[in-house]
Amino acid sequence: MKEDNHSMRVLAIIPGEEKGSSFIFAKRQVDSIKAKNINIRTFYLSSRSNPRGVIKEIIRFKKNCNEFSPHVIHSHYGTVTSLIPAIFSSLPLVITLQGSDINYTPADGFFRDLFGRVFTQVSCLKAKKIVCVSRRLKERLWNSKNAITIANGINLDTFELIEKSVARNKLNWRLNDKVVLFNANNPVIKRLDIAEAAIEIVKNKIPEARLEILRGGIDPQKVPVYLNASDCLLICSDNEGSPLIVKESLACNLPVCGTDVGDVKERIEESSPVAVVKQNAQSIAAGLIDLLKMETRSNGRQLLISQELDDKMVADKIIEIYKEACKWKD
């Protein structure tokens, strides 16, 4: 897109690399904002784990700011990602909190977890606007006066409806299996142990039931196929922000069995069929059995639209936040 010196310029900071599926939700949000003819550039913060790497990233960040002269900076994560613009820039800062940047994550190690959460809180004190992907994240802030709750949106063209038999043929799955999809990209926090215990109970009633585990590394373009090929999604994490796979499941009319973690209950409780369960194998198994026996899709896509979680609607809200942050006048 040709840069317009008279348009608002936004520098989006995303941790990780440009290629791959890491922080795909942030990359997709940037794309949806670009589609609204906003002049937005992405800065990938590739090194955050050691002082020398962080210093190099600070230098690169300041160079990008000097070259691009953004009106507002949008950090798509807390911790070091938000701390760098908070300290090394005087520009208006917007921070999106995703969950693991402010939630307690003991699997990261005591000091990394502690410092990460402190860095996030300090950054938020400097931010003009804070976007929390769920209400519970907003409640964790030291000061939430500049915070608003907006979940990440879903591209309904990407997460389209596919006939289950067609999707299963693409994955070479048996048509008579009862497939429970489970995202285990962080198996400890996601509680893969509980999921596996629950599915063993389910098999006593439904022998053809099985757990399909997503462990990361899957081509993002194939995720809609997995969702449409499955019979239900299971989520039973210890903590979450606003898990993307729940909203993606809704977009594909995949029934969800979930615990009250993050914003999961808020997202799914009005869908049908649905199972909101307790975080133990027996409760989860009962919910899964009910859903698998129904053999029907949900009304999730319609619900997602009613919750204004189409990515185009979310992009409009984020753009308004940019304008407020930098006092932009059209």
Calculate mean pLDDT across residues 153-172: 96
Same topology for domains 9-153+310-325 and 164-306, yes or no? yes
Tokens encoding 132:
């929390």
Calculate mean pLDDT across residues 6-25: 90
Distance CA 37, CA 170 (A): 36
Task: Say what the pLDDT of residue 251 is.
Answer: 97
Task: Say what the pLDDT of residue 167 is.
Answer: 98
Answer whether residue 48 shows pLDDT above 80. no
Answer whether residue 3 shows pLDDT above 70. no
Amino acid at 257: C
Helix (H) or strand (E) holding 21, with range, is none
Across all residues in the chain, what is the average pLDDT? 94
Distance CA 109, CA 105 (A): 8
- Closest to 284 in 3D by CA, of 223, 221, 234: 234
Task: Say what the pLDDT of residue 259 is.
Answer: 97
Task: Say what the pLDDT of residue 1 is.
Answer: 40
Question: What percent of the chain has pLDDT above 70?
Answer: 98
Task: Say what the pLDDT of residue 212 is.
Answer: 97
Split at pLDDT 50, 70, 90, the class of 44 is very high
Other beta carbons within 10 Å of 264: 22
State the fold for domain 9-153+310-325. Answer: Rossmann fold (3.40.50)
Split at pLDDT 50, 70, 90, the class of 4 is low
| Tens digits of residue pLDDT in 200-209 | 999 999 999 9
Distance CA 282, CA 250 (A): 24
Residue with tokens 């009613």: 306
Answer whether residue 213 shows pLDDT above 90. yes
Q: Give backbone dihedrals phi and psi of 97, rounded to 5 degrees, phi first.
A: -90, 125
Distance CA 241, CA 186 (A): 14
E strand spans, the chain: 9-15, 39-45, 72-75, 93-97, 129-132, 147-149, 178-183, 209-214, 232-235, 256-259, 274-277
| Tens digits of residue pLDDT in 72-120 | 999 999 999 999 999 999 999 999 999 889 988 877 788 888 999 999 9
Most confident of 1-15, 188-202, 206-220: 188-202
Distance CA 235, CA 284 (A): 9
pTM of the complete model: 0.90
Burial class (CB in 10 A: 0-12, 13-18, 19+), 156: middle
Tokens encoding 306:
């009613």
- Closest to 107 in 3D by CA, of 186, 7, 45, 216: 186
Q: Where are the domains of the chain?
A: 9-153+310-325, 164-306
CATH number of 164-306: 3.40.50.2000
C-alpha distance from residue 312 to each of 43, 202, 294, 301, 309 (Å): 22, 39, 33, 15, 8
Calculate mean pLDDT across residues 281-291: 98
The conformation of residue 159, written as its DSSP 8-state character, comes to S
Answer whether residue 329 shows pLDDT above 90. no
Task: Say what the pLDDT of residue 111 is.
Answer: 83
Split at pLDDT 50, 70, 90, the class of 2 is very low
Tokens encoding 63:
């160079």
